[in-house]
Each structure stands twice: as structure tokens, then as C-alpha cells.
Amino acid sequence: MHIANPIYDTTFKYLMEDDEAAMTLISTITGKKVISLVRLSQERTTERKEEEEGNDDESSDSNESQDSTEVSELGETSESSESSETLEKSPLTVMRFDFIATVVLEDGTKEAIAIELQKAKGETDLLRFRQYKGKVLSDPHLVREDDPDLPLRLHSVYLLGKGYGKVPGEPFLGVTPRVHSLITGEPVDYMDEFIEALFPSSSIIHLSNIPEVIQHDLEFLLSLFDQRRKLASSPWIVDVDESVFPAHLLCIVRCLETITKDATMIRLLTKEDWRLRTAQRKDNELLASKSTIAAQAATISYQAEELRKRQDELERRRYAEAAMTEELKKHRYAEAAMTEELKKHRYAEAAMTEEIARLQEELEKVKKKKK
């Protein structure tokens, strides 16, 4: 049978507005039996544009409901015109839902807990998750009815698309506070209201790493998000075998099937798919542009390095030429000095020759007188 692809924000929003489907989904993921859900507020959706412009921390608290650039309020029902208009605007990256869930504990008692659910189709700044968790933890409405001074226990659910780290072979992770001794490092079997209030548990689902062979209820549920099952011609539609699903999960399957028979929802899904493809194309173009720029920068860097080497070689040759010129000057100075010294020797030799000639004349004169 064909169902709407729940990875799409339009589909997932519709699914979470169905009480039975939402309770079943949260129960299966958290492992807690949810018997009732109360939506704390309208779900918040962070738009792609937010990533480009950033957050203004000083004004976000006072203007949060009015700032349509950063956070859009999508409305509470699928028929809301505000919801449809917002969903048609721009590619959305993170959907957020807050609930107070009544769960049945192992001993049969009931407890109200806060559920924070975030779904991200693609990679986004991890700081966004932490900032939103901080807002949830500080929400003054998340307190126990019997004691307003005590906050409700919080469980966070993260449905993550592409771009996040994965543990090999473990696409579905549970995180709980682990108490241990700071001296020995040994685990301590202890939990109190302080730890539960400040260190919430979490369920982390990697939607891009869903196993092909499914056996567990959670795997059956998340197989609905398996993008290998989507239709090539209509990627907002997923093909599933209804007969293999456990009976308690069929409410989700039927809810998703209902969307495929709603012309308005199909129109919204088509538009969302077009926005996603457009955004992906722009991302690919940007990535290609960055790759081209990086290649050009590498080429320029290589050319600059080659130029530097040539300049160094030229400078070395200039130094060698200057040294040779200086050496040549020294040789010329030495040659000039030798020439001057040779002249002096010649002058001395001429003088000695004249002196010898004079002495020979005097000797001849002396010889003549003796005769």
C-alpha cells in the first residue's frame, strides 16, 4: 500500500496531530506506555533562512512569537490557513513538538512527564538543539501538579536525518543519566529529583541508517521513514506492506495512508518536495562553487609557492653574482697592486743598471790611471 512519506514536514505534522498515532509513535520510541498527550503549544519549525541570518539572543525571548524569519508557528490543525501558508514558504529543517504525556510505569502507577520531540531532515547547527533544550528545561509550565516546585521529568526524542554521526550497527540509541563515584568511577545505583530534573533521558534515532531486516516494534515503526521505499516518481509517497506490521502500529500506517487520499495534502507535499529539490540544487551549486574556489585557491597557492621558489632562486643567484663581482674586484685590486709593485721593481732594476754602469765607468777610469 502507499502511504505519505513521514520524513516530509507536512506529513509528520499531520501525523503528530493525530492523538492515537502520536501516542503510539512516542510510546514505541521511548519505551514508555503513553495513555494521554497534552500539547503544550503549537509546534515550532526552524526555517533554512534562520541558518543564514543567525539568532538574536537578546530579542528572541521577547519577540519569539512575532519573529517569522527565525521561528514559525505552524498552527494546531491541518486545516489552519496559517499552517498551510507557512508550510509553503521555504525549506524547513527542524520541527519541534512539546507534550505532557501521562505514562504508565512498571509498577502500574501513572506519571506525567514532559516530552520534547525534534525532527531534522538534514544537518543543522548542534547549538540549536541545546538552545531549545535549555528553553524546555526552563519552561515554568513543566511542573508537577501535586508540587509546583518540582519540575516534570523530561524525555527528549531526536529524529535525525542526514549529516549526523552514527554508531556502526546501532541506528537507535537511548541516553540516560549514569551516576558513578568520582573516587572509584564505579556506578552508583542512585537517582533523585535533582538528577532527574537536570539530566533528562533521550532517544536518538538515525533515520538514514534504518536496517533492511526488521524484527523489533521500533524497527517496524521506523521502517516507515526508510527512504529506500519511496517512489521514484513521487518521493513523498512510500510503498509499504501493511500485512507485516504489528496491529498496534497500524493506526500510524492508516493515518499516513489517509494523507495520500487528501488532494490538499498532496498539493502541500508536492510543493514541499519542490522546495527541497530547489534547496538541494542550491546546496549542490554552492558546494560545487566552494569546490571550484578551493581548487582555484589551491592552484593560486601552488603558483605563489612556485613564484616564491623562483624569487628565492633569483635572489640566490643575485647574491652569488654580487659575491663573484666582489671577488673580481679583489682580484683586480690585487692585480693593480702587483702591477704597481712590478713597476717599482723595474724602476729599482733600472736604477741598479745605471749604478752598475757608473761603477764600471769609474772602474775603467781607475784602470787607465794605473797604467
Q: How many CB atoms lie within 10 A of CB 309?
A: 10
Q: Give the pLDDT confidence of 264-293 residue by residue, as tens digits.
A: 999 999 999 998 888 778 878 888 898 899
State the number of CA atoms in the 13 A half-sphere of 19 facing the CB: 8
Domain locations in the chain? 2-261
Q: Specify the DSSP class assigned to residue 223.
A: G
Q: What are the grid coordinates assigned to 266, written together?
A: 498532496
Strand, helix or coil for residue 179? coil
Q: What are the grid coordinates assigned to 155, written together?
A: 524525555
pLDDT at 73: 33
C-alpha dist (Å) from residue 345 to 261, 337, 342: 123, 12, 5
pLDDT at 196: 75
Rounded to 5°, the CA angle 320-323-327 comes to 135
The angle that helices 263-370 and 9-16 make with each other, rounded to 10 degrees, is 130
Q: How far apart are CA 309 and CA 303, in angstroms?
A: 10
Q: How far apart are CA 155 and CA 200, in angstroms?
A: 6
Beta strands in the chain (DSSP E): 2-4, 33-39, 44-47, 71-73, 92-104, 110-120, 154-160, 172-175, 201-206, 237-239
Q: Specify the DSSP class assigned to residue 151.
A: B
pLDDT at 24: 96
Sort residue 86 into left (φ over 0), alpha (ψ -120 to 50) or beta. alpha
Give the residue from 258, 237, 226, 236 showing the smallest Cα distance to 161.
Answer: 226
pLDDT at 41: 62
Regions of the chain where pLDDT drops below 50:
46-90
Q: What share of the chain is helix, strand, coil (3-state, %, to 5)?
A: 55, 20, 30
- Residues 254, 278: contact at Cβ < 8 Å? no
Q: What are the grid coordinates assigned to 231, written together?
A: 517512489
- Residues 50, 94: contact at Cβ < 8 Å? no
Q: Is the pTM of this model over 0.85?
A: no
Q: How many CB atoms lie within 10 A of CB 275?
A: 18
Q: How far apart are CA 160 and CA 209, in angstroms?
A: 10
Q: How many CB atoms lie within 10 A of CB 247?
A: 6
- Residues 211, 165: contact at Cβ < 8 Å? no
Q: Which residues contact 211 (CB under 8 A, 6 or more apart)?
A: 171, 219
- Residues 152, 112: contact at Cβ < 8 Å? yes
Q: What are the grid coordinates assigned to 69, written together?
A: 524569519
